[in-house]
Structure 1
Amino acid sequence: MSAGGVVMWALAGLCVLFWTLVIERFWYVRRVFPQWGRERRKAWQHLLQDDRGTWRRAVRAAWLAQARQQLLGPLRLSKTLVAMYPLLGLLGTVSGMVAVFDVLAINGAGNPRGMAAGVWQATLPTLAGMVLAITGLFSLARLERDARRALERLADQLRHE
């Protein structure tokens, strides 16, 4: 961590935050949302038994919009974090290159070890940012797919009969 500079600590903190959010979303989609959906299906059955319910379509649309917001809304923060990873990696690259130029300004080109440390400091956060972004993209794609499937299942179960 110290070889990558301060940017590596920022990436580590964002990584912990991101994976906490992802685990929470996986838990929500698999454990909490199905219970919410069962409650809506029971209420839907009661609405279907009521002849006078010409407003059923509006209730269904409102429930589906609420479900969409519950499933997909919290993913916006995770998407923002994934977009920040490469940018922070680039910041690490710039700060590492500044360290290389600092060594060059003080010692000239005669200190290859000092320059190598700066290059290492420049490449490590970039690599870390890209790895985090790639794994984040894959996990978000899986989360979105699962959320959309749960939403489609609920929409199918709340059909007009």
Structure 2
Amino acid sequence: MSLLLERWLPWLADLLQLGGPVLGLILVIAFTMWVLLFERLFYLFAEFPRELERAERHWRSRRERTSWFAAQDRKAVTGYLGSRLGKNFSLIATLIKVCPLLGLLGTVIGMLEVFDALAATGSNNPRSMAAGVSKATVSTLAGMVVAIVGLLAHSLSERRAAAVRQGLEARFTQFEDRDHA
């Protein structure tokens, strides 16, 4: 583990210096986005099946399942489970949308540094402009990469959660069909 840190920490520090403070903010947002995405996937595949089993046990323990009261109970349970499935997806989507905008902000800041270097030196010396150009390109690249990868992961996980959410009502009405048979 320490060898891994020794190898990656200097590289990350160089990258942050190269990209400027906007890149640091993009990396913080990327970390937050991935923590939320992994939490959603953990919930979907580890916690939700247990919650669903408890809800189905509760539903099967009802004496009757066809009255208005039973329908209200079923709607409450499926609504609760459905809302738990959709938790944090809007926040993740917002973080994804912010990343390219921050990349654009880094581009503008980097280009301002280029123009400042041009004004200070009075020439088009490439060395004086290199820092600004690197900030412009690195932050743009980081914002776009985080947004694209995040968008793919978000889309797949949200689609899976939506499919599970759609099947909730059918799972609970199947018990009614068995009762009538």
Fold conserved (TM > 0.5)? yes
Which structure 1 residue ranges, 5 or more long, are not aligned? none
Select 2:69's aligned residue among 27, 41, 55: 55
Select 2:170's aligned residue among 148, 151, 156: 156
Maintained 8 Å contact 2:100/2:147 = yes
Structure-1 separation of matches of 2:85 and 2:65: 31
- Structure 2 match to 1:138: 152
CA change 1:52–1:77 in 2 (3 A) is closer
Q: CA deviation at 1:51?
A: 6.7
1:22 matched to 2:44: no
User: Identity of paired residues, percent?
Assistant: 36
Correspondence 1:12-161 to 2 at 5 A? 12-47=27-62, 49-50=63-64, 53-159=67-173, 160-161=176-177
Structure-2 separation of matches of 1:51 and 1:131: 50
Structure-1 separation of matches of 2:139 and 2:44: 32
TM-score of the pair, normalised by structure 1: 0.93
Q: Secondary structure at the match of 1:109?
A: coil
One-letter amino acid matched to 2:61 = H
Structure-2 separation of matches of 1:114 and 1:21: 40
Maintained 8 Å contact 2:65/2:71 = no
Structure-2 separation of matches of 1:56 and 1:7: 54
CA change 1:118–1:10 in 2 (3 A) is same
One-letter amino acid matched to 1:25 = R
TM-score of the pair, normalised by structure 2: 0.83
Q: Number of residues paired by the alignment?
A: 160
- Structure 2 match to 1:6: 21
Q: CA deviation at 1:111?
A: 1.5
Which structure 2 residue ranges, 5 or more long, are not aligned? 1-15
Q: Which structure is richer in relative contact order (CA contacts within 8 A, separation 6 or more)?
A: 1
